């Protein structure tokens, strides 16, 4: 929400002239822009409580800023005559660096700035599109079929069944007859003569 609000204000003011002491959508100077951004970040009206580079430190402390810099935080850098901002997503915004208010410029990490303060921001999560499905609600991907020679273990069994003993297997190349198959006639063989009854 913070980034959306600030980017909307900066885009609205983009191209407005650099106005020394300015504090409105019509234009501002560098510290006016830093005031605007820090006000929005600390839930204050955007164009209230303007500060300048001379009282910036105490004004930022009053808004909850800490000394130094931090990744993913709103960072403001300044010296005795200029200030600039780097938003939590790394976007620099400035006024007085090549004109009035704009997205761009050197941001808070310029070498000329010997003072830095930051405000930790809650991580903003972009809303999912209306037609998106949460990943944990999606069905699991189908399992890949087992390789042809794999032994499929039924659910609940700890190990696959052992193969039958060799004596139960037909010789290689011979299959046992199907239960519904007709049995072949017996091979022609000489039978012993029937016993003679006297």
CATH number at residue 42: 3.90.1720.10
* Position 89 in a domain: yes
Both tokens of residue 138?
């999606």
Whether 134 shows a pLDDT value over 50: the answer reads: no
- What's the pLDDT at 99? 86
**Mean pLDDT of all residues belonging to the chain:** 79
What is the β-pairing status of strands 92-94 and 102-103?
A: antiparallel
Q: Is the residue at 43 inside a domain?
A: yes
Please report whether residue 15 resides in a domain.
Answer: yes
Q: What is the pTM of this model?
A: 0.62
Structural domain contains residue 42: yes
Quote the pLDDT of residue 187.
59
Tokens of 126: 């972009």
Q: Is the pLDDT of residue 194 over 70?
A: no
| CA pair distance 17, 175, nearest whole angstrom | 94
User: Partners of 15 in the beta sheet?
Assistant: none
Strand partners, 66: 118
Asked if the structure places residue 175 within a domain, the reply is no
What's residue 49's pLDDT? 87
Q: Is the per-residue pLDDT at 122 higher than 50?
A: yes
Question: Domain of 74?
Answer: 2-120
Tell me if 55 is assigned to some domain.
Answer: yes
Residues 45, 57: Cα–Cα separation, whole Å: 19
Output the pLDDT for position 120. 93
> How many distinct structural domains can be found in the chain?
1
- 105-135 burial, b at 16+ Cβ within 10 Å, e below that, comes to bbbbebeebebbbbbebeeeeeeeeeeeeee
| 49 or 140: which leads in pLDDT | 49
Query: Which pLDDT score is estimated for 133?
Result: 47
Q: Residue 195: inside a domain, yes or no? A: no
Taking the alpha carbons of 133, 136, 137, 142 in that order, is the dihedral positive or negative? positive
Looking at the predicted structure, is the pLDDT value of residue 127 above 80?
Answer: no
Residue 92 belongs to what H/E stretch? strand 92-94
* CA 22/CA 7 separation, integer angstroms: 19
What are 23-71's pLDDT values in tens digits?
999 999 999 999 999 999 999 999 998 999 999 999 999 999 999 999 9
Residue 125 lies in a domain: no
Number of residues in the chain: 198
């Amino acid at each position: 929400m913070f980034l959306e609000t600030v980017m909307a204000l900066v885009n609205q003011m983009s191209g407005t002239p650099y106005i020394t002491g300015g504090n409105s959508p019509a234009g501002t100077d560098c510290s006016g822009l830093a005031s605007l951004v820090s006000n929005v970040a600390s839930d204050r009206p955007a164009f209230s409580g303007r500060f300048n580079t001379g009282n910036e430190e105490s004004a930022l402390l009053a808004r909850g800023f800490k000394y130094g810099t931090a990744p993913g935080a709103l960072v403001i850098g300044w010296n005795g005559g200029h200030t600039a901002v780097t938003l939590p997503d790394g976007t620099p915004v400035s006024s007085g660096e090549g004109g009035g208010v704009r997205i761009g410029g050197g941001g808070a990490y310029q070498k000329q700035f010997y003072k830095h303060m930051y405000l930790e921001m809650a991580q903003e999560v972009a809303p999912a599109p209306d037609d998106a499905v949460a990943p944990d609600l999606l069905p699991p991907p189908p399992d890949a079929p087992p390789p042809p020679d794999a032994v499929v273990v039924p659910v609940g069994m700890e190990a696959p069944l052992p193969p039958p003993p060799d004596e139960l297997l037909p010789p290689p190349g011979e299959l046992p007859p199907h239960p519904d198959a007709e049995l072949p006639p017996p091979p022609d063989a000489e039978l012993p003569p029937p016993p003679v009854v006297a």
